[in-house]
Amino acid sequence: MWGLSDNNHLINPKTKESQKSFISLTLISTLPNSDIDAYATAASVMPKELAYRFLNSLDVGYIINGRVS
């Protein structure tokens, strides 16, 4: 079924598996789009706690829709 797969295009380079921390992550900023995209991709493959610390260290707003474990 559409949207129920555990696989996606964001692969954690350390585990070689699809990310499973977040359903969606949106960043809001006046930074260049390429930077925002890179930050969102990086945060998407991080463990949740590290991702929140990382995002809080940046000059961005964010909206996260997390997975229910």
Residues forming beta bridges with residue 62, ordered by sequence position:
27
Task: Give the confidence band of 1 by pLDDT, cuts at 50, 70, 90.
Answer: very low
- For position 7, what pLDDT does the model report? 64
SS3 sequence, the chain? Answer: CCCCCCCCCCEECCCCEECCCEEEEEEECCCCHHHHHHHHHHHHCCCHHHHHHHHHCCCCEEEEEECCC
Q: Give tens-digit pLDDT for 19-36.
A: 777 778 899 999 999 999
- pLDDT tens column, 24-69: 889 999 999 999 999 998 998 888 899 999 999 999 999 988 764 4
